[in-house]
Structure 1
Amino acid sequence: MSESPYQRGTTHFGFRDVPARDKQKLVGEVFTSVAGKYDLMNDLMSLGIHRVWKRYFVGTCQVRRGDRVLDLAGGTGDIAALLKDRVGTEGSIVLGDINAGMLSVGRDRLTNRGLVAGLEYVQCNAEALPFPDASFDLVTIAFGLRNVTDKDAALREMHRVLRVGGQARVLEFSEVKADWFKPIYDFHSFKVLPKLGRLFAQDADSYQYLAESIRKHPPQEELKAMMAEAGFARTGYRNLSGGIVAVHTGYKI
């Protein structure tokens, strides 16, 4: 088993090494800063493709009407809104996020769309979920795992709260596969993205961190192995857009 960030004493915050105990606070400051402009910036950063990735992520997950779903790092509610159509009026979704600002934006947005029944909002840490064992049929986390200090602990918690036969799904930025595209992607990430952050969100530093955090996130095969180590069976992944993002899947048996 790999050594946890807390055992090492330090972890990464973007390209910086910081005390592990400080990362949660630093990440919290980033997302409190960007919460109000988060969707706008996602559109600008990805040219709107993040919406296609999210629709694919939800459209291919294992979920039925009446299921109970936990959407971690639920942010502004995009995944929860898509899931609501899948679980129907008989099902329920818990939208969990460690950041109160993001959670508030998500709740307001979904309420304004008339999505109220069957939705719960819980401020929680993915490393120590406040739910009993075997509580959910599906657990999702989209663009949130890379910001967790102890990813192994979060994956173990996702496994714990799943029912037997349940599925966990991770949508996250990953490792670009085409060598010719890597310099273009790096230019966009480190030159264009911070400028967009400064121009539209008056916050270049947070978007610099987001670009750096993508490079520090475990690539496809490493994350697949981490999910297996956390207890998941039949682990696998599918690259989208040449590996810019990947959808990882695991099951509890």
Structure 2
Amino acid sequence: MSKETQEQTTYFGFRKVPLREKARLVQGVFDSVADRYDLMNDLMSFGIHRLWKHLTVYLSQARYGERILDLAGGTGDLTYLFRSRVGDKGEVILADINAAMLKKGRDRLIDAGLVSGIGYVQADAQALPFAENTFDCVAIGFGLRNVTDKNRALASMYRVLRPGGRVLILEFSKPRGEWFSKLYDFYSFQVLPRLGQLVAGDADSYRYLAESIRVHPDQDTLKSMMARSGFERIEYFNLTFGVVAIHRGYKL
């Protein structure tokens, strides 16, 4: 394969696909799972995803009156938590590239009684439609691995952060320990697709989930990518044996 051809392809799970096709394929995945997304999150993580998200918000150091971007925010779990931190003087923007997920998040938050202090924007993480130095914090939970060009997305996040602002990346990562990695592989490739078929009627989307995790940069690689995008004081926190990691960096 020529260098030119390699530059025009990317991974969709384990498959190499044309670069221009990935966004459409990812959109199809989330269109398919939107209605059962929250239920599946609870089932496949045994509810632990809620603790991961609470810790992300805690590590964000979000304060009263700040402006927060919840990128790839889906059904609004992080937005809900951030809204309680920034209070009536602050604002949280829930952004997602997928219209079905964004609608689900908006409906869910309105049903929870949150009708002020939250904005909704359909946006591509690679080209955020906000001015420079807009947000005190940008958080992206379980979304970066689905982005076609992760370096562009990191640069876009850096651009919209104010000096002193923080980025929080909550994402699946590389587990620690050989025995646990083997158990995790069995769960990911044998149990998870069957669970997806049973609950959401869609095994393929959850097979993609397992594959997309395996081709996502590991903890140290992502840390290096963040540094190249301009972030400083970067650190990461492994959760649940490294199944998930929270990366935090600053725009100084």
Residue in 2 that maps onto 1:61? 60
The structure-2 alpha-carbon separation of the partners of 1:244 and 1:252, relative to structure 1 and needing over 3 Å to count, comes to same
C-alpha distance in 1, partners of 2:218/2:138? 21
Alignment of 1:147-162 (within 5 A): 147-162=146-161
C-alpha distance in 2, partners of 1:66/1:226? 30
Q: Is 1:104 matched with 2:107?
A: no
Q: Which amino acid aligns with 1:116?
A: V
Residue in 1 that maps onto 2:177? 178
1:116 Cα deviation after fit: 1.2
1:62 Cα deviation after fit: 2.0
Q: Which amino acid aligns with 1:44?
A: L
Give the fraction of aligned pairs with identical amino acids, expressed as a percent: 60
Residue in 2 that maps onto 1:245? 244
Runs of 4+ in 1 over 6 A off after TM superposition: none
C-alpha distance in 2, partners of 1:129/1:101? 19
TM-score when normalising by structure 2: 0.97
1:178 Cα deviation after fit: 1.1
Alignment of 1:1-253 (within 5 A): 8-253=7-252
C-alpha distance in 2, partners of 1:7/1:109? 41
Map Cα deviations across residues 78-117 of structure 1 (whole Å, 9 max, x no partner). 0000001100111000100000000000000000000110
TM-score when normalising by structure 1: 0.97
C-alpha distance in 1, partners of 2:200/2:5? 33
RMSD: 1.1
Map Cα deviations across residues 54-99 of structure 1 (whole Å, 9 max, x no partner). 1111122121100000010000000000001100111000100000
C-alpha distance in 2, partners of 1:71/1:156? 16
Q: Which amino acid aligns with 1:33?
A: S
Contact 1:24/1:148 (CA < 8 Å) preserved in 2? yes
1:7 Cα deviation after fit: 7.6
Map Cα deviations across residues 29-64 of structure 1 (whole Å, 9 max, x no partner). 000100010011011111111111111111221211
1:192 Cα deviation after fit: 0.3
Contact 1:6/1:20 (CA < 8 Å) preserved in 2? no
C-alpha distance in 1, partners of 2:5/2:147? 12
Report the count of equivalent residues: 249
C-alpha distance in 1, partners of 2:180/2:232? 33
Q: What SS does the aligned partner of 2:120 have? A: strand
Q: Which amino acid aligns with 1:138?
A: C
The structure-2 alpha-carbon separation of the partners of 1:35 and 1:24, relative to structure 1 and needing over 3 Å to count, comes to same
C-alpha distance in 2, partners of 1:64/1:7? 44
C-alpha distance in 2, partners of 1:6/1:249? 34
C-alpha distance in 1, partners of 2:68/2:95? 11
Q: What SS does the aligned partner of 1:249 have? A: strand
The structure-2 alpha-carbon separation of the partners of 1:110 and 1:189, relative to structure 1 and needing over 3 Å to count, comes to same
Q: Which amino acid aligns with 1:172?
A: E
- The gaps in structure 2 that reach 5 residues or longer are none
Q: Which amino acid aligns with 1:8?
A: E
